[in-house]
Structure formats: structure tokens, C-alpha cells
């Protein structure tokens, strides 16, 4: 249940942006679908870009919290948690309404790295990488930074393949590559 008009706007915009994109979704569509008046929108957000940033912030919190909780729930050992990253991705890809990664899409639509929207997308990816690095450290990786970056490449590649090509098996293949990577790194 949406608790405030601001939350209603953010949740409606999140759904529309995820499905239709940022540039393709106009303010009037958001207002029509949310049932919120234009004056209320501008009482909460000075611009569409400010609304987009609020949406990205909400999606970041939702995604990372759900993602980490699912990884922790699925596996007890550090190695198994590193591999569970891909199981959680696979479930996301197979889920109803999978539309790819909102942050990849945002960075594609707002290509200037100095743009606050692009920066918010980059920050999300950094925070996910931080979590993967924590798991790599707990697993005893000799170089947790490098391992986390390599696993992120596998994860991001799987996301793109699942979204762009409809390849729902991308997470399983990425997991297989991650297993080989962990074996090579001596993580048992």
C-alpha cells in the first residue's frame, strides 16, 4: 500500500520507467497512471530529473536489500554465497515483468558521466560491487577487489543477455564460469 502521494508518484514512475524507459515516459503519463495532480507532483519534485533520481534511489534500495537477503537465505558458506549471486539473478530473469536493469538503462539514456542520473546508476553498480567484494573477502580471496570486479562482469553480462536476447539461461552459464573462476582462485 502506497502511503503518500510522493510514494505513489515514485512507485508509478518506477513501473513506467522500467517498462517504457525514461525519455519515452512523460510526466502526463505518470500523472494519469498515478492519479496525482500536477501541482502535487511539483510540490514534491522540481523536475522530471528529480523524480527519476528518487525512482533510482528507491529501486537501488529495493534491489540491493532483496538481492542480499536472497543470497544470504540461499547459502551459508562464503563460496556458496558467491555462487548464489547467479541463482538470484536467474530467478529475477525468470520473474514476471523482467525488463532488464533500470541502472543500465538509465546510463544508456543519460550518457554523460557527470549527469546526476548517470552518476546514480554508477553508484548503484559500485554498491553492488562492494557487496560482492565483501563476499569475496569472507571467502578468503587473495585479491577480493579483482575477484569482485570479475564476478560483476559475469553478472552484468548475464543481465544484458537475459534482457537484450531473452536468454533466461544466462545466469546459469555465468554461474558455471564463476565456479571455474573460484576454483582457479583456490576458493573452496
Band of pLDDT at residue 1, cut at 50, 70 and 90: very low
Give the pLDDT score at 107.
Answer: 98
pLDDT tens, position by position, 56-97: 999 999 999 999 999 999 999 999 999 999 999 999 999 988
pLDDT tens, position by position, 44-65: 999 999 999 999 999 999 999 9
**Would you kindly state where each structural domain of the chain is located, as residue ranges?**
1-45, 52-184
Vertex 176: Cα angle to 169 and 153 (nearest 5): 80
Helices 78-94 and 170-184, axial angle in degrees (round to 10)? 170
Band of pLDDT at residue 131, cut at 50, 70 and 90: very high
Q: Cα 37 vs. chain centroid, distance in angstroms?
A: 30
Pick from 53, 78, 181, 169: nearest CA to 131: 78
Pick from 107, 102, 84: nearest CA to 172: 84
| Residue 3, pLDDT above cutoff 90 | no
CATH fold of the domain at 52-184: Tetracycline Repressor; domain 2 (1.10.357)
Pick from 97, 83, 120, 82: nearest CA to 18: 97
CATH superfamily of this structure's domain 1-45 = Homeodomain-like (1.10.10.60)
Q: State percent of the chain over pLDDT 70.
A: 98
pLDDT tens, position by position, 5-38: 999 999 999 999 999 999 999 999 999 999 999 9
Amino acid at each position: 500500500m502506497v502511503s503518500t502521494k510522493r510514494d505513489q508518484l515514485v512507485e508509478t514512475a518506477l513501473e513506467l520507467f522500467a517498462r517504457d524507459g525514461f525519455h519515452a515516459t512523460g510526466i502526463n503519463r505518470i500523472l494519469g497512471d498515478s492519479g496525482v495532480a500536477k501541482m502535487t507532483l511539483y510540490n514534491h519534485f522540481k523536475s522530471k530529473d528529480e523524480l527519476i533520481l528518487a525512482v533510482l534511489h528507491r529501486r537501488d534500495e529495493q534491489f540491493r536489500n532483496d538481492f542480499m537477503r536472497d543470497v544470504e537465505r540461499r547459502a551459508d558458506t562464503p563460496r556458496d554465497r558467491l555462487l548464489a549471486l547467479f541463482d538470484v539473478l536467474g530467478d529475477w530473469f525468470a520473474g514476471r515483468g523482467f525488463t532488464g536493469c533500470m541502472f543500465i538503462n538509465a546510463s544508456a539514456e543519460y550518457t554523460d558521466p557527470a549527469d546526476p542520473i548517470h552518476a546514480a546508476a554508477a553508484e548503484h553498480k559500485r554498491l553492488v560491487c562492494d557487496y560482492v567484494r565483501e563476499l569475496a573477502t569472507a571467502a578468503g580471496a587473495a585479491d577480493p577487489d579483482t575477484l569482485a570486479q570479475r564476478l560483476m562482469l559475469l553478472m552484468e553480462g548475464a543481465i544484458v543477455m537475459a534482457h537484450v536476447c531473452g536468454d533466461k539461461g544466462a545466469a546459469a552459464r555465468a554461474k558455471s564460469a564463476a565456479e571455474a573462476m573460484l576454483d582457479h582462485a583456490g576458493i573452496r
